[in-house]
Structure 1
Amino acid sequence: MIRVVIAEDQQMIRSAFASLLKFETDIEMAAEVSDGRQAWEAIQKLQPDVCVLDIEMPYLSGLELAETIRRDGLPCKLIIVTTFARPGYLQKAMEARVNGYLLKDEPIDVLIDSIRKVMRGEQVISADLAPTLFMKEENPLSEREAEMLRLTKTGMTTDEISKALFLTKGTVRNYLSSAIQKLEAESRQQAVQIAEEKGWI
């Protein structure tokens, strides 16, 4: 029996996945959760065979969760599901050694088949995503610049960032200005959007 944890913040999709998986005689739903923090707790407690993780969830993203699971040496197989065919995301997923990377608009049969395949030691990637494996784009941002954009994304102001990181407001503005310039953006919000779409933050 393959024990599965599903972590997906959209209730309709999560419920649909779980309901359809329950019809499979060789698959058991160990847990279905709505955010990364709940997923991490469930994975530690239940030790599932396969984790199906949404790439974008509150508290911990699917990628952050995958990195944490690998860092702690937990043996479960990992399948990332996403709406986004972004090269940066796929690149990060490969670096986190996920076993599967699927688009959400795939038929449910593909997910079910993928769960069985990763249990056999195979790696599964949606056919539509295969070309993005060859579209590796170097991240021009320094870690500090990426950090500034991540904090900006949360809604923090220059003043709040400077206080949180114990930097002067001028230093924060310089990092943000550099990031905006490197990404050829017109504003910090646009820089955040570009970096996010490319999977760099």
Structure 2
Amino acid sequence: MTDNVPTLDGVWNQGWQSAVELRAALLGGEPLPEMPYVPVRLEPEEKAHAAVVLDYSRYYGMDVTYQQNSNFYFGSPVFVAAGLAADAIGNASARGRAEAMARAQWREFQQVTVYVTSTRLLALVDGTRWLSWYHQGNVQVHALLGEWAVVQMFPDCEPVRWQGPAAPWLAVLLVYLVFGEDNLRHHPELSALGPAFG
């Protein structure tokens, strides 16, 4: 194994081995499996291939508001100065918290079931809304195998990160569905899964 292969045990080992086997099978010309049922309506000619449980998050910044204190102090100069200093410290602290919350970062952490189809990924997010990420709109797939993650980049929405034991397997499948067999064979981030024969 190479240096960038994570230490494996239990379900993590199974996830890694599944990714190795899927890559070998796809490069060997085997067809993708098809699921007979998914809980949502698919588009005409769309085929469901798998359902995996992963941690989901998106990367974005946001507008945050905070309230500043500006109290009126009456009394001795020491009392007034102490009150103004306390307000300044409180305002600086509130501003710092708001700036930290507003920075672009991974958000919306939750575990979801991801349905992989021939045209998109589907997931029920927040338990209330089905979201789709179409392979055709996917500009880049980052297989971050050492972090047990795969990140999808799109031109018109925030990056999406999938993380967990099944992430290497999903990375293999996404690279294949989005970019094809040649990219699957030569994708440098997938080299830790072993040699690409064929």
For the pair shown, the structure with the greater C-alpha radius of gyration is 2
Q: TM-score range by the shorter chain?
A: under 0.3
Normalised to the residue count of structure 1, the TM-score between the two structures is 0.20
Which of the pair is proportionally richer in helix? 1
Normalised to the residue count of structure 2, the TM-score between the two structures is 0.20
Q: Relative contact order (C-alpha < 8 Å, sep 6+): which is higher?
A: 2
